[in-house]
């Protein structure tokens, strides 16, 4: 996912940047009005949907930089004329990204990031690492939590992670509406984290890796510890393993 840190890095590395924003959308379009991307001569930040439209806008933006021009407006039909079959029409405003525009887009990105779902992956083992790489491609805020630094060190660059002694405490302080995916190296730790997640009452998703037997044992333990009988259904709890899906 795009972050404010990556935007800051992009702007620091590129002095001449054109901000390209969809200012009007009629009919079908890959992205909605207000979507933007930033174009430099050798780099791009963000996307307005890809395809022929995006290539066309990138070419226009780089032409503005090369010619020293500050702005341009485009009105593009998304049809056979440009080899794109969306069928709608968009207006794109291209402007030289001065200090004011850079601050504006940084602020807008912060708002966008704050509104995206938060997902915590507990466990940086081989399954957790692969899942983290997949989630990193989606529009969510994601963080990997583990007690083992050597496992966290194997995560690909750019994936947020944290080593903590008590992972279940992370659940208590997580933002409202966070989702929790639990796949640590320790069944007892899995149970503690899952119980904390279910006790929050506000999580749209709680998932734990395991078999049908593990599911049954956790359900029995959870109720014995005072957990609510209907908590599983209320939170959309999922369990999965190599042979059994619940």
Give residue-wise pLDDT tens across range 81-107: 666 666 688 999 999 999 999 999 999
Residue 81: its pLDDT value, please?
63
Give 121 or 49, the one with higher predicted confidence.
121
- The model carries a pTM of 0.68
In a domain, 69, yes or no: yes
CB-based contacts of 176, cutoff 8 Å, min separation 6: 202
pLDDT of amino acid 143:
97
Among 94, 101, 148, 93, which Cα is nearest to 126's? Answer: 148
Q: Is residue 246 part of a domain?
A: no
d(CA 196, CA 227) in angstroms, rounded, equals 10
In this prediction, residues 164-188 reach a mean pLDDT of 95
Quote the mean pLDDT of the chain. Answer: 87
Q: Is the domain of 234 the same as that of 126?
A: yes
The count of structural domains within the chain is: 2
pLDDT tops 50 at residue 244: no
Choice among 19-23, 200-204, 227-231 with the minimum mean pLDDT: 227-231
Residues 15 and 73 in one domain: yes
> Which of these ranges, 139-153, 164-178, 228-242, has the smallest mean pLDDT?
228-242
Arithmetic mean of pLDDT, 157-176: 95
Cα 71 from chain centre: 31
For residue 246, the model assigns a pLDDT of: 33
Helix, strand and coil content of the chain, in percent to the nearest 5, comes to 40, 25, 35
Residues 150 and 178 both lie in one domain: yes
> Which residue in 162, 200, 209 sits closest to 178, CA to CA?
200
End position of a domain, from candidates 81, 114, 147: 114
Residues 132 and 45 in one domain: no
DSSP line for 162-211: EE-S-HHHHHHHSPTT-EEEE--S-HHHHHHHHHHHHHHS--S-EEEE--
Residue 240 has pLDDT above 60, yes or no: no
| Residue-range definition of the domain harbouring residue 92 | 4-114
- Residue 220 — pLDDT band, cuts 50, 70, 90? confident
pLDDT of 245 reads 32
Q: Which pLDDT score, from 0 to 100, does residue 233 have?
A: 59
Judged against a pLDDT cut of 80, whether residue 206 lies above it is answered with: yes
């Amino acid at each position: 996912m795009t972050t404010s840190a990556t935007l800051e890095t992009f702007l620091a590395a590129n002095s001449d940047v054109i901000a390209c924003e969809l200012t009007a959308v009629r009919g079908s379009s890959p992205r909605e009005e207000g979507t933007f991307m930033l174009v430099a001569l050798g780099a791009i930040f963000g996307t307005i949907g890809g395809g022929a439209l995006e290539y066309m806008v990138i070419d226009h933006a780089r032409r503005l930089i090369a010619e020293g021009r500050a702005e341009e407006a485009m009105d593009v039909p998304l049809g056979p004329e440009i080899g794109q079959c969306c069928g709608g029409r968009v207006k794109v405003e291209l402007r030289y990204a001065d200090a004011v525009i850079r601050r504006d887009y940084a602020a807008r990105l912060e708002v966008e990031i704050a509104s995206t779902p938060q997902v915590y992956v507990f466990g940086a083992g081989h399954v957790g690492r692969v899942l983290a790489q997949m989630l990193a491609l989606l529009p969510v805020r994601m963080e990997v939590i583990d007690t083992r630094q050597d496992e966290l060190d194997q995560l690909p660059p750019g994936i947020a992670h944290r080593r903590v002694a008590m992972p279940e405490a992370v659940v208590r302080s997580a933002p409202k509406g966070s989702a929790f995916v639990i796949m640590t190296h320790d069944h007892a730790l899995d149970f503690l984290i899952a119980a904390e997640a279910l006790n929050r009452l506000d999580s749209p998703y709680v998932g734990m890796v395991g078999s049908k037997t593990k599911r049954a044992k956790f359900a029995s333990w959870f109720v014995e510890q005072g957990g609510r009988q209907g908590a599983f259904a209320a939170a959309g709890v999922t369990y999965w393993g190599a042979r059994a899906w619940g």
